[in-house]
Amino acid sequence: MTAAHDAARALFTTLTGHEPDGLWSAPGRVNLIGEHTDYNDGFVLPFAIPQRTVAAVGLRDDDRGRILVGSTFADEPVEVGLDELDRLFPTPSGAHPAVPEWAAYPLGVAWALRQAAPGAGPFGGVDIAIASDVPVGAGLSSSAAIEGATASALNELWGTDLDGTALARIGRRAENEAVGAPTGIMDQMASMLGEPDTAIFLDCRSLETRPVPLGVTEAGLEILVIDTRVKHAHSTGGYRERRASCELGASIMGVPALRDVSIADLLRAQELMDDVTFRRVRHIVTENQRVLDTVQLLQEHGVRAIGDLLVASHASMRDDFEISTPELDTAVETALAVGALGARMTGGGFGGAAIALIEADAVEAVSDAVNAAFATAGFAAPLLFTVSPAAGPHRDA
């Protein structure tokens, strides 16, 4: 049990006056490579991390059919009738949810789960208290961890009996239609299907997955996360614009999604598109290929071989997709300058975290160098920690 388990249980008891039926948790994720490819029907290679979100949950013994959600990062809990969920969601496109945004994640999961399993039930009233040790806004999918923990708990308590992929779809629906963030499905799949020491190769069109052993420790390496502490939000701004550019690019090429554009097609794409749209398209098309190449290199030569692909991915996000920040570039350049095998920003961009693949005995040296570079540049101090691939959701108590 972690501090988040204790905090979720304590909050539950404060809110309800009794013990929860159980504690369920789900992990955040790091994406090794394959950024913004998920909503283009492409390929990604994320893994779940040890940091988890915990949901303390209990069915109510009254028959009023209400759902209460509380969280350690909100002052007040939110309570609504289960039948009201269909009126609250979907949130109209571009609008804010009718409940506080943090509450739209667990309530959106409850809404989508009921819709996905109409024959199941009865869907009794329920209390949910959430605590997390996944850093929020760091590009490590704290939101998918909330969705995964809530979905796992309700799936068991409501007897809906859905599998991990179905629960990941429910999480994405909550994110897209309740919160209103136009994200893909990578984070939810990574959180739901995580396995120790393994990355998940995911085809975002078919949702087929293949575990790819990473062997980071055996290779004498570590993956260092550098959280720049620049918070991002994907319900607004740049993320939505990038997605729109990709959809425009696909329609100009006459294909359903950029997944269907090959590297050889890029010459034609350049003739047909304005420069910005073309560069957005080039990022997606080359990033899909880098994911495939990374999987192949991991299988044939091991994790030491993938550094250059991580670096190329970062350059593509910085120059073509334009989602990096000065802090992320500093993190990546500094790590590489002091010997990282590879480094790149991870997640949606516009802030959040970078990862660096480094020698296990270089954690301190790289951390010191990054801290010093941030101080020199006048950036806030970053948060640095190593991660290794971890398990997906489970019931902990």
Question: Which residue's CB is nearer to ligand GLA, number 25 or number 346?
Answer: 346
Catalytic residues, by residue number, are 187
Stretch that binds ligand GLA, among 34-42, 223-231, 262-270, 333-341 (CB under 6 A): 34-42
Determine, following the binding rule CB under 6 A, whether residue 39 of this chain makes contact with ligand GLA.
Answer: yes
User: 197 to 236, contacts with ligand GLA by CB under 6 A?
Assistant: 234
How far apart (Å, rounded) are the C-alpha atoms in residues 96 and 148? 22
Q: Which stretch binds ligand GLA (CB under 6 A): 79-87, 179-187, 334-342, 365-373?
A: 179-187
**Token pair of 151 as six digits:** 């979905």
Tokens of 178: 């309740």
Measured from the CB atom, is 128 or 174 closer to ligand GLA? 174
Residue 21 or 35 having the CB closest to ligand GLA: 35
User: Does 347 engage in binding with ligand GLA (CB under 6 A)?
Assistant: yes
Whole-Å CA distances, 108 to 17, 111, 148, 248: 25, 5, 12, 29
Closer to ligand GLA by CB, 321 or 374: give it.
321
* CB-count burial class (<10 Å; 0-12, 13-18, 19+) for 87: exposed
Q: Does 186 bind ligand GLA (CB under 6 A)?
A: yes
Distance between CA atoms of 274 and 297, rounded to whole angstroms?
A: 34
The answer to whether 169 contacts ligand GLA (rule: CB under 6 A) is: no
Q: State the nearest-atom distance from the C-beta of 261 to ligand GLA, in Å.
A: 17
* Partner residues linked to 198 by β-bridges: 195, 213
Cα 330 from Cα 72, distance rounded (Å): 32
348 binds ligand GLA (CB under 6 A): yes
Pick the piece of the chain touching ligand GLA (CB under 6 A) from 30-38, 162-170, 305-313, 373-381.
30-38
CB 33 within 8 A of CB 291: yes
Q: CA–CA distance from 308 to each of 37, 118, 270 (Å)?
A: 19, 48, 25
- Residues near ligand GLA (CB under 6 A) are 31, 35-36, 38-39, 183-184, 186-187, 234, 347-348
